Amino acid sequence: MKQKIAPTSVEVPVGDDDVIVSKTDLSGRITYVNRTFMRISNFAEREVLGKQHNVVRHPDMPRGVYRLMWDTLKAEREFFGIVKNLTSDGHFYWVLANVTADRDDDGQSVGYFSVRRHAPASTVRAVSDLYAQMMKIEREAGPAEAPAASAQFLRRLLEEQKTTYDRFVLGLYQQ
Ligand SMILES: Cc1cc2nc3c(=O)[nH]c(=O)nc-3n(C[C@H](O)[C@H](O)[C@H](O)COP(=O)(O)O)c2cc1C
């Protein structure tokens, strides 16, 4: 059972040169974290290795975003997302995450890895309203239905705007 960390309002800075990396197995269990991951999240390697990656999920992050992420990975596509993560002290940091398959020499997926970089304040502002709407939908849907309900809302919205989540996220960097 994952221990609950109480969130604070302290933002941990992510530098322009920081690259936060983690790897997982196919089920999302952490198999590797780099030093930058440990420094920024303030988790020791032994505290996260073997744990599900939701150990760093911030309660402000809609589960629907991760539903979309897993669906994208299962469809053998890479995923880009603006993500708010929790540190071991309950602080938070925002990153642009790129999650891709980790393949063996035969091209078989053996897991996934995520490479995260600083998310500029303008991109965080751009997703804040959307994530707040998704969180409202998740609260109304209840825990069991939350990820599907808010992912469906997000998919509809993107369809209406004739875009995909990846294009929407990467487009924020061109504004
Ligand atoms: C390679 C990889 C990296 C991930 N990185 C994060 C992350 O930084 N933060 C996070 O909250 N979830 C991350 N996840 C997603 C989690 O596995 C999980 O789906 C998500 O936190 C939602 O949690 P829930 O299953 O409790 O709803 C990652 C998954 C993979 C495969």
SS (H, E, C) 88-153: CCCCEEEEEEEEEEEECCCCCEEEEEEEEEECCHHHHHHHHHHHHHHHHHHHHHCCCCHHHHHHHH
If you take atom 1 of ligand 1, which residue's CA is the nearest one?
113
User: Does residue 174 register a pLDDT over 90?
Assistant: no
- Which atom of ligand 1 is nearest the CA belonging to 97? 8
Spans of all domains in the chain: 20-174
If you take atom 21 of ligand 1, which residue's CA is the nearest one?
54
Q: Give 16-57 pLDDT, tens digit per residue.
A: 999 999 999 999 999 999 999 999 999 999 999 999 999 999
User: pTM of the predicted model, to two decimals?
Assistant: 0.94
- Which atom of ligand 1 is nearest the CA belonging to 24? 1
Pick the CATH number of 20-174 from 3.40.50.2000, 3.30.450.20, 1.10.1740.10, 3.40.50.2020: 3.30.450.20
Distance 65 CA to ligand 1 centre (A): 10
As for ligand 1, residues whose beta carbon falls within 6 Å of it are: 22, 24, 28, 52-54, 56-57, 61, 63, 66, 83, 85, 99, 112-114
If pLDDT is split at 50, 70 and 90, which confidence band does 166 have? confident
If pLDDT is split at 50, 70 and 90, which confidence band does 175 have? low
- Which atom of ligand 1 is nearest the CA belonging to 147? 27
Distance 163 CA to ligand 1 centre (A): 23
If you take atom 28 of ligand 1, which residue's CA is the nearest one?
53
HSE, CB side, 13 Å, CA atoms: give it for residue 119. 27
